[in-house]
């Protein structure tokens, strides 16, 4: 790793105690550099950082960052500068706890200390922010909003979470994830200053708080016209809520999720989400369950602001075009995005030149923005390129992945509707037994599923299965796998242990038991000690499950296999990483 020119190396005091030290390679050799949760220490005070940052990973200069000259043979075996930044970022991951009055919002006020340390308290006040919270659809709403305003000619910054493959997905400038060079520049700018200035009383920020601070730095330095911020979790004590005066706030559909953190009732959850409302800042939401809506209205009333309830977008307003994001539920998110974009334009005095007079059709810029919006892992359809590259005769079998990161009962119902409609669109007919066919061949639906152990599969899986059944869709088999990525490390190539014999599959066997109870007899459902049932299988790793699917396609060449991947955004990201290699 190469330290940026902004860092002044220093020698640690003799009393310094730095656990879990990591030796990191730098220009010309090994830099005694320790990346820990509490301190970033350089042992060589005479070492000077280069005046400019090296080229991105994969460029010819990276060999220097990896410990040798240009094209050094050590490059492939040494961590890259980017990987080392991810290692440092991983050191900030902690177990999430409920932020409430008993712990001062998990010490939320520390965010203001961090802003001062980074000299961002001034720049953040000048950002023209759109702030969005919610349980379902907040990421899609932010993506639609960003695309609309970009098509209106504004320089946009978009901060979303989580990422699926690469952490840089969270930071987008003008619709494009930040480059590796700029990520490294801004990452070390923030990291080095915080390492120098934090202490026992004000420790290094936790993982998401650091990412939010990094977003503020990126958007300020890149001089975006508008910053669209998606809340990470909750609202009131979320790191993004350090913004004191956004231009407009929005709350997407609310439901039951993260209840161990946000509360057990819709009212409690709505109370946390409405924490992003600010006095004097217009607020928008979509139709909500009565319990949640009542709390949102009360909060708005206390602040003396109107709460605008937005109807779903009428598809006719798109002038015979379609939303860039698939699924009927996206018309709810698009409706909210339109209102947020219109409010931002008017509040900032930028509405001139945009035709809002036509009550039948949307302005052309809005239509274009909505139709070109893209977001990975949400109602995404990806054919398996591996099989297609090996099989020139595409008619002999096919494997298509339908990916959606739904992980709550409500969102899984929406996912099931989308999947059922999506496969119906490519299915020409069904026989009298309900067997589906594609272009004269059979179509077989398979579920690839995992969810976090804090979620209740008794609530998730029945919602998915029953909704699909209403549309005549029945899964021929369900595959349960542990996530390939690990939760305590950030990286593009992070994976589970190679030794699949020692992977704990107790949770996947629990999921399988729930599945079998839904699709089979009670007797068979009790046989949870085995991995293979007539209608389901448990695999010790995702690569083995993908391998099985590909082999199954080769053995059944007259069938199109439609695989729904859902239950976890982490799982969706892992699948995308594997099938796009």
Residue ranges of the annotated binding site are 161, 230, 258, 378, 404
Q: Which residues contact 368 (CB under 8 A, 6 or more apart)?
A: 151
State the binding site for Mg(2+).
Answer: 161, 230, 258
Q: Using CB atoms within 10 Å of the CB of residue 440, give its burial: 0 to 12 exposed, 13 to 18 middle, 19+ buried.
A: exposed
Rounded Cα distance, 384 and 388, in Å? 7
Residue 463 structure tokens? 């919602």
Cβ atoms 250, 336 nearer than 8 A = yes
DSSP string, 182-248: HHHHHHHHHHHHHHHH--SSSPPPPHHHHHHHHHHHHHHHTT-SEEEEE-SSSSTT-GGGG-S--SE
Q: Tokens 């799982």 — which residue?
A: 571
Q: Tokens 């037994």 — which residue?
A: 433
DSSP string, 87-117: HHHHTT-------SGGGHHHHTTHHHHHHHH
Q: Tell which residue, 185, 167, 187, 169, has the closest CA to residue 177.
A: 169
Rounded Cα distance, 210 and 233, in Å? 14
| 3-state helix vs strand vs coil in the chain, percent to 5 | 40, 15, 45
Residue 467 structure tokens? 């909704």
Q: Tokens 């334009």 — which residue?
A: 345
Q: Tokens 């992977």 — which residue?
A: 503
Residue 78's Cα: distance from chain center in Å?
A: 28
Cβ atoms 283, 305 nearer than 8 A = yes
Rounded Cα distance, 561 and 476, in Å? 10
Residue 536's Cα: distance from chain center in Å?
A: 28
In 10 A of CB 31, how many CB atoms? Answer: 21
H or E segment to which residue 546 belongs: helix 542-555
Q: What secondary structure letter does DSSP report for 274?
A: G
Cβ atoms 476, 537 nearer than 8 A = no
In 10 A of CB 4, how many CB atoms? Answer: 20
Cβ atoms 418, 180 nearer than 8 A = no
Rounded Cα distance, 33 and 11, in Å? 10
Residue 510 structure tokens? 């629990």
Rounded Cα distance, 438 and 425, in Å? 10
State the binding site for ATP.
Answer: 378, 404
Rounded Cα distance, 72 and 66, in Å? 8
| Whole-Å CA distances, 409 to 97, 333, 574 | 23, 18, 22
């Amino acid at each position: 790793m190469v330290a940026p020119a902004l860092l002044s190396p220093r020698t640690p005091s003799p009393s310094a105690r730095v656990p879990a030290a990591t030796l990191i390679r730098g220009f010309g050799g090994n830099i005694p550099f320790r990346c820990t949760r509490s301190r970033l220490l350089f042992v060589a005070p005479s070492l000077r950082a280069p005046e400019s940052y090296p080229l991105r990973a994969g460029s010819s200069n990276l060999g220097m960052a990896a410990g040798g000259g240009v094209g050094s043979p050590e490059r492939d075996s040494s961590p890259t500068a980017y990987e080392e930044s991810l290692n440092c970022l991983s050191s900030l991951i902690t177990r999430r706890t409920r932020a409430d009055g008993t712990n001062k919002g998990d010490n939320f006020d520390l965010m203001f200390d961090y802003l001062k340390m980074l000299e961002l308290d001034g720049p953040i006040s000048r950002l023209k922010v759109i702030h969005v919270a919610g349980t379902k659809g907040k990421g899609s709403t932010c993506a639609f909003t960003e695309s609309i305003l970009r098509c209106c000619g504004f320089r946009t910054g978009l901060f979303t979470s989580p990422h699926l493959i690469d952490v840089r997905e969270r930071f987008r400038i003008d619709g494009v994830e930040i480059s590796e060079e700029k990520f490294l520049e801004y990452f070390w700018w923030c990291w080095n200053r915080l390492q120098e200035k934090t202490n026992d009383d004000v420790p290094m920020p936790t993982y998401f708080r650091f990412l939010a601070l990094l977003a503020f730095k990126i958007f300020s330095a890149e001089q975006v016209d508008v910053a669209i911020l998606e809340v990470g979790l909750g609202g009131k004590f979320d790191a993004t809520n350090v913004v004191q005066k956004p231009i407009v706030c929005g709350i997407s559909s609310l439901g039951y999720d993260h209840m161990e953190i946000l509360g057990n009732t819709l009212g409690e959850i709505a109370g946390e989400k409405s924490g992003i409302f600010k006095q004097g800042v217009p607020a928008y939401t979509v139709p909500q369950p009565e319990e949640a809506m009542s709390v949102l209205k009360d909060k708005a009333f206390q602040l003396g602001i109107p709460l605008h309830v937005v109807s779903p977008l009428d598809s006719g307003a798109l002038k015979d075009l379609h939303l860039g994001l698939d699924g009927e539920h996206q018309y709810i998110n698009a409706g909210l995005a339109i209102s947020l974009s219109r409010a931002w334009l008017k509040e900032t005095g930028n509405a001139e030149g945009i035709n809002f007079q036509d009550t039948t059709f949307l302005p052309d810029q809005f239509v274009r923005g909505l139709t070109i919006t893209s977001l990975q892992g949400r109602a995404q359809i990806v054919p398996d390129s591996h099989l297609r590259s090996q099989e020139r005769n595409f008619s002999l079998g096919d494997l298509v992945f339908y990916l959606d990161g739904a992980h709550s009962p409500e969102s899984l119902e929406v996912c099931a509707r989308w999947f059922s409609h999506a496969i119906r669109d490519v299915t020409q007919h069904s026989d009298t037994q309900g067997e589906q066919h594609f272009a004269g061949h059979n179509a077989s639906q398979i579920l690839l599923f995992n969810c976090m152990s804090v979620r209740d599969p008794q609530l998730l899986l029945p919602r998915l299965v029953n909704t699909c059944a209403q549309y005549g869709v029945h899964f021929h088999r369900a595959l349960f796998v542990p996530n390939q990525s690990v939760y305590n490390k950030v990286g593009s190539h992070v994976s589970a242990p190679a030794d699949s014999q020692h992977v704990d599959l107790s949770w996947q066997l629990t999921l399988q038991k729930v599945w079998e109870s839904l699709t089979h007899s009670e007797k068979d459902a009790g046989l949870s000690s085995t991995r293979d049932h007539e209608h389901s299988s448990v695999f010790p790793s995702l690569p083995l499950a993908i391998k099985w699917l590909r082999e199954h396609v080769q053995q059944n060449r007259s069938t199109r296999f439609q695989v729904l991947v859902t239950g976890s955004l982490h799982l969706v990201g892992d699948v995308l990483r594997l099938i796009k290699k």
